[in-house]
Amino acid sequence: MSVVNVLERGDKLLIVSNGLFGDRFKDICERHGYEYDILRAPAGERVPAERVEEMLESREYKAVTVTHVDTSTGVRTDVREIGEITKNSGALLIVDDVCGTGGEMMMMDEWNVDVIFTGSQKGLGIPPGLAITAFSERALSVWENRKTPVESYYCDIGLWMPIMEAYERGEAKYFATPATNMIRALWKSLKIILKEGIEKRVRRHQIIGETFREAVRAMNMEIVPKRDEIAANTLTVISLPDGIDDQSFRREVRKRGVVLAGGLGELAGRTTRIGHIGLVDGNEIFSTIGAIEGALQNLGHKFEIGSGLRVVSEKLSKLWSCTS
């Protein structure tokens, strides 16, 4: 929905990719007949803003896509920096914020974001099932001035906007039956988020992200992002030690009551992903690091037993002061 409403066949898109989910825009382009160039960062790095600026100066693009947090690598994009560049070029900025919303700071208007989308299942803390998309006035103007109809009937915002407008007027209007149970869940989730406060919620995720990164290193392992300033605060992607494969590691962790996600794309088999987004508290952090320590010990990894848990103990005082 984010791309098909503002692009038409033959339009040019610049894809800024820091991992598997950034690459997905390439598949979308090929299916819909859009021209594209792709800037791809090595695993653990992010595309420099200077490269984006150079591409926009060398060729005219209708839009630029970025993934705020790519969950295959755990790398976070500086959306504000990219937004300054796209604003000056005239290109629309489309942001995949599936693993950012509800955990990382996002200022759609101030950062010059034109289209942003997320899902219900991560930072919003409810089951999967909702695709949530927002369009800027500039993006809506591009949609209104299309030369051809939106190719996807279901994704055409022209069919969905009257429903939203009718709802705001307190009227009923029909296009398709929504998942009303999920809408109610979203309403409850947003009330919880606003009660906590956006800035406090983002800060809580920052502390949790720092805690996991330090605990991983204390256990004699490394994370995939090459620098902490580009590492996401909503998940941690671990590079597994030599001799330990992803499935064996996760199997041992699961025996201790914690479920982790496997690596994706080019990092599959060599990495493990820990999601710590949404309503995560100190007990869950302790349980996760404790399970990881037990798994590593059982698999013969050399590290100081208790080192990860010690980091958590030291960091939790910050977390408690943030949430009190």
Tell me the pLDDT of the chain averaged across its residues. Answer: 96
Whose CA is closest to 279, among 128, 122, 97? 122
Which 8-state DSSP code applies to residue 121?
A: S
Which burial class, exposed, middle or buried, applies to 302 when counting CB atoms under 10 A from its CB (0-12, 13-18, 19+)? exposed
pLDDT at 316 over 90: no
* Percent of the chain predicted with pLDDT > 90: 92
Per the CB < 8 A criterion, the answer to whether 126 and 182 are in contact is yes
190-235 pLDDT per residue, tens: 999 999 999 999 999 999 999 999 999 999 999 999 999 999 999 9
pLDDT at 178: 86
pLDDT at 322: 66
CA–CA separation, 37 and 59 (whole Å): 10
Which 8-state DSSP code applies to residue 265?
A: G
DSSP string, 40-95: EPPTT----HHHHHHHHHHS--SEEEEESEETTTTEE--HHHHHHHHHHHT-EEEE
Which burial class, exposed, middle or buried, applies to 195 when counting CB atoms under 10 A from its CB (0-12, 13-18, 19+)? exposed
Query: Boundaries of CATH 3.40.640.10 in the chain?
Result: 12-188
Whose CA is closest to 140, among 131, 150, 132, 130? 150
122-165 pLDDT per residue, tens: 999 999 999 999 999 999 999 999 999 999 999 999 999 999 89
What does the pLDDT average to over 12-28?
A: 97
Q: What is the 3-state secondary structure (H, E, C) of 165-218?
A: HHHHCCCCCCCCCCCHHHHHHHHHHHHHHHHHCHHHHHHHHHHHHHHHHHHHHH
Place of tokens 């994706």: 264
Confidence category of residue 177, pLDDT binned at 50, 70, 90: confident
Token couple for 293? 């320590």
96-123 pLDDT per residue, tens: 999 999 999 999 999 999 999 999 999 9
> How many other β-carbons are positioned within 10 Å of the β-carbon of residue 229?
9
Evaluate whether the domain defined by 197-323 bears CATH number 3.90.1150.10. yes
| SS3 state of residue 220 | coil
Confidence category of residue 324, pLDDT binned at 50, 70, 90: low
Q: What are phi and psi of 222, to 5 degrees?
A: -125, 155
Query: Boundaries of CATH 3.90.1150.10 in the chain?
Result: 197-323
* Percent of the chain predicted with pLDDT > 70: 98
Per the CB < 8 A criterion, the answer to whether 72 and 238 are in contact is no
pLDDT at 323: 65
Whose CA is closest to 236, among 253, 260, 265? 260
36-58 pLDDT per residue, tens: 999 999 999 999 999 999 999 99
Whose CA is closest to 35, among 17, 56, 62? 62
Place of tokens 């980091």: 311
Q: So what CATH class is 12-188?
A: alpha beta
In total, the chain counts a number of residues equal to 324
Per the CB < 8 A criterion, the answer to whether 39 and 60 are in contact is no
pLDDT at 321 over 80: no
pLDDT at 78 over 80: yes
